Structure 1
Amino acid sequence: MSIEIRKRDKGTVYRVRWNQNGLKACRSFSRYHDAKSFQQEVKESDSGFEAVSFTFQKAADEWITKHAEIRKEPSSVYMDKNMLKQNILPHIGNLRLCSIQPRHLENWIHFLKQKKRLSNSTINRNIDVIKAIFSYYHKRRAIYFNPASVVDKLRMDTKPFDFWSGQEVRLFLEYVKKKYEHTAQHSTYVFYALALNTGARLGELLALRWSDVDFDNGLIAISKTFSGHVRKVKNTTKSHKVRHVPINSALTPVLEKAQKGHRNDELVITWSGTVIDPNNLRQRCFYNDLKESGVKRIRIHDMRHTFASHYMMNDGNVFKLQAILGHSSLKMTQRYTHLSKTFLMDKTDVVSFTAEENVIKVDFTKQAATA
């Protein structure tokens, strides 16, 4: 192990070089004192020697226990564990943490893309987990090189999403109202009406209670969400903020009728007094209702897209829409500024220039004669 001194135009650089498990490593400092302290840490650090037999599997388990389960949402931890089990550990779990190089990670990404045929967005979520684990141990000096720091995520192309036309929305709501109006599953219709008129997320609507509905001020407080992964209501939303969405004139009578005979602490959307499982709602109701009503097949989340798209097509304000949807970034909301093809075709003559109208007439013959 040594400290190299190199003089450059911008000042002197002190570079610590050492061998770690047969691999050459180095780190640069602008002050000699810092380089000397780091050199001593490398010599004395127990974690550096422990990493010789520390596998990525063990590192991932410790990261989940000591970091993820303490600092992340249960639903996020569930997804992290699933990605580790399905896509990451089978490929690099048995490798020593300190021996993993960028080429190992690039080969792993190639496998996910070419063999497992995963989408770029799914692969990027897996990369995020690996980056988080390596960063955790790099900050704690268990490893002196973070191979994930030089591995780039895949390019993300914005995918088009589906949404219903106004006619499809009316046809669907008309059908489900007749189907569920006088049944024990009446709140299924209420769910559809809420989703299409507020743009709220599935989990947010399933966690909604009548105490969250303010009829006097025409607002619904969105403060909780139901996580299907851990089957629990979380007292926070995806953005970790309480937001209020307006109750429009179409939704008011639906909610007033559904609220009769219910206490404030009861769920708005329920079949038996408990939270409806999202998968049951999809399989037992939504997909059947799509087929029976004859409308285009979409996802439940696309009802949120439908609300947002029609909000913008009816000259809604993008900043107000951001607040209604609970987006942390305006960029996310700007996806909805696109318009349907039919709407664009209706607007083709808003700007229309011809050579015959609204043009200053010039007598070129007269100009040529005087030239």
Structure 2
Amino acid sequence: MIRLDERELSWLTIEQIRHLLKTIEEFSQNPHVHLLTRICLATVARWGEAENLQLRHVQEGKLTFVNTKSGKSRSVPVAPELFKEIWKHLEKHEEFSFSLSAFRRALDKSGIKLPTGQAVHVLRHTFASHFFMNGGDILSLQKILGHSTIAMTMRYSHLSEDHLCTAVRFFPNYN
């Protein structure tokens, strides 16, 4: 067997998320990139899945992502305010245009440093990491991410150092 190193994954802190969104608001002229970023952060959608949303995919408080990587459609509930904003945006613009390069420019402008190849994927990983840190369980996260194996989901369960330190409370006391 050939051993392959696992790709380094990263996630954004709450402060970094706020900074990135503010940077997008201030510097991006793309009318879609801010909302697409928020959709990815709220739903773990891949960037392309979010860009492919159409009004018919926005129903009853949920977004339905079609043509996903696994080939299976999945519906994800979103907060009512975000749902209304997406609905209004798609009513006005009819669709999202290609916005990946606008996101990458905003990310560069923000000064947030990520491992190579982690630009938009960091949004998906950010949701997963915060979900896990806030007490979500790995099996629910597997379903949300749409993974077929728990092993794949485990790659997303990296935690902040502060959160890992709290694990010490749960160690058995052998003294």
Q: Distance in 2 between matches of 1:301 and 1:295?
A: 14
- Per the normalisation by structure 1, the TM-score is 0.42
Give the CA deviation at 1:249: 5.5
Mapping 1:1-371, distance limit 5 Å: 153-180=1-28, 183=29, 185-214=30-59, 216=60, 218-224=61-67, 237-248=68-79, 251-252=82-83, 254-262=85-93, 266-267=94-95, 269-270=96-97, 276=98, 281-282=100-101, 285-297=102-114, 298-345=118-165, 347=166, 350-351=169-170
C-alpha deviation, 1:189, in angstroms: 0.9
Specify the code of the residue in structure 2 equivalent to 1:281.
Answer: L
**Aligned equivalents of 2:169, 2:79: Cα separation in 1:** 29
Distance 1:348 1:321, change over 3 A: closer
Larger RCO (alpha carbons 8 Å, 6+ apart): 2
How far residue 161 of structure 1 moved from its aligned partner, in angstroms, is 0.7
User: Do the aligned residues in 1 keep the contact of 2:64 with 2:74 (CA within 8 Å)?
Assistant: yes
Structure having the larger proportion of residues in strand: 1
Distance 1:162 1:326 in 2: 19
Larger-gyration structure (1/2): 1
Q: Is the 8 A contact 2:54 2:90 kept in 1?
A: no
- What secondary structure, in the 3-state scheme, does the structure 1 residue paired with 2:92 have? coil
Structure 1 position 246, deviation (Å): 1.9
Change (3 A) 1:341 1:254: farther
Q: Quickly say closer, same or farther: Cα 1:337–1:287, change in 2 above 3 A.
A: closer
**Residues 199-257 of structure 1, C-alpha deviation per residue, up to 9 Å, x if partnerless?**
1112212221121012x3x2111112xxxxxxxxxxxx221211111213563354244
TM-score normalised per structure 2: 0.82
Identity among equivalent positions (%) equals: 33
2:156 is paired with a residue of what secondary structure?
helix
Letter in 2 for 1:246: P
Report the alpha carbon displacement of residue 193 of structure 1 after superposing the two structures with TM. Answer: 0.9
State how far apart, in whole Å, the 2-side matches of 1:303 and 1:210 are: 23
Unpaired stretches in structure 2, ≥5 consecutive residues: none
**Aligned-residue CA RMSD (Å):** 2.7
Contact 1:243 1:323 in 2 (8 A): no
Taking the aligned partners of 1:168 and 1:250, their CA distance within structure 2 comes to 22
Give distance in 2, aligned partners of 1:256 and 1:160: 35
